[in-house]
Amino acid sequence: MRSLMAEARAARHIAVIDEATLEFTRDGVAGASLSSIAKRVGLTRAALYNYCTDRQDLVFQCYRRACSLTQSDLLRAYETPVSGAERLGMFLKLSVDLDHYPVAVLSEIAVLDDEQQATVRKDRAQNVELLKTLLREGQEDGSIRDCDLEVVCQAIFGVLSWAPLIRIWLKKSEQEFAARMAAAIPDMVMNGVVPLGNRFPSTHRRIAEILGDTPRTEREQRMEEFARTGSKLFNRRGIAGVSFDEIALEMGMTKGALYHHFESKPEFVSFCCARAFDIYERVMDAAEACETGLEATMTAIELDVEAQLSDIYPLWLTTGLGAFPAKTRAKLAKRNERLAARSFELARRGIADGSLRPFDLEPVKLAAPGSFTYLSTWLPPANERRAAQIAQEVSRFLLLGLRRR
């Protein structure tokens, strides 16, 4: 017998998860307000616990629903009797549809307990395998080019996660821009941005060459060590999910010693963010020195990928922007905008010199970093040679797309 009460409760439960997903994406897991989540679905905070046992359980539910939604999109595309390339295009369009349910970014999986982490990793791994199967069958039917399936699948899921995040960072909340991004992502993944017949550059720069042995004095070396350790932990667990005590413990020192260098945690986080932007700007300096727009864009992508896979640990610009003080948010957004503007200019150079085809610059260039931001979370640790191979695979993914030419 149909139970209207049970149906209403199930619908409310989904509403709680969807609102929590949005809150966690904006403010990070530890920085999110459970009271705000409850209020937006017409509940008291106490009543919210009818749908979850605690914050960690709510995160777990959001992450499992994210995997379930992605699997539904994949299955719908996979079961359609068309070519592999058409299936991939369908999956991408379903994923970025403006009416799609919110999908959590699985960037703070470390806040879950071991059993929960294993469950989420298993769910996500099943989706990776399904996407691999879709792509492999596309290769067999001749519609998708040869590629490293593991790297490409991680890159695709990264782009889909990153797109809504970067809109938060750059305050691109308007529906018109969301529609542009929804149109641009499938086109980028399928067709890339390099015209047919153009030769792909054969020269490659390495991140170690660009950054060099930068820490100079003993104090600078210490500050670099602070930033690497803090950024590694923040990337793993979210900014609000890591305390000064944990950073000090990781470094084998007291919290007091950390306070000797930084007056507060927000000051330390700002330092880590500034260091990340310094790294990305040095990458951009190297890219801008290249001859063509294609070579410059390829260089920027490959150096950024290597930075993420190395022990440099640049801080991710990911979930939790809303947890920053307003002044810090504005400063970080400004640096991000300047970096994005330089990236846009590289693409304009490529379009002008004919090495890149005309495309909708802003949404493509803003979505592209998602292809490599989370690679270190989901791929096995990479040595320098493997990191270089992955970097080249990601640049080919973004520049050539996956459709067989």
- The per-residue pLDDT for 381 is 83
pLDDT > 70 in the chain, percent? 95
Q: What one-character-per-residue DSSP string does 263-330 give?
A: SSHHHHHHHHHHHHHHHHHHHHHHHHTSSSHHHHHHHHHHHHHHHHHSTT-PPP--S-GGGS-HHHHH
Structure tokens at 292: 């063509």
Domains (range + CATH), the chain: 4-144 (1.10.357.10), 207-356 (1.10.357.10)
Whole-angstrom distance, CA of residue 51 vs CA of residue 46: 10
CA distances to 44, 65, 156 from 15, rounded to whole Å, are 14, 12, 27
- The per-residue pLDDT for 215 is 59
Whole-angstrom distance, CA of residue 38 vs CA of residue 276: 35
- The per-residue pLDDT for 26 is 85
pLDDT in tens, 388-400: 999 999 999 999 9
- The per-residue pLDDT for 153 is 98
CA dihedral (286, 291, 294, 299) in degrees, to 10, reads: -20
For 166, other C-beta atoms within 10 Å of its C-beta total 22
- The per-residue pLDDT for 54 is 97
- The per-residue pLDDT for 154 is 97
In one-letter notation, the amino acid at residue 74 is L
Global confidence as pTM: 0.90
pLDDT in tens, 48-61: 999 999 999 999 99
- The per-residue pLDDT for 28 is 84
Task: Mark the ranges of the chain whose per-residue pLDDT is less than 70.
Answer: 1-4, 169-173, 213-215, 318-324
Structure tokens at 114: 């071991």
- The per-residue pLDDT for 210 is 85
CB of 190 within 8 A of CB of 398? Answer: no
- The per-residue pLDDT for 298 is 95
Whole-angstrom distance, CA of residue 165 vs CA of residue 151: 21
- The per-residue pLDDT for 218 is 84
- The per-residue pLDDT for 228 is 92
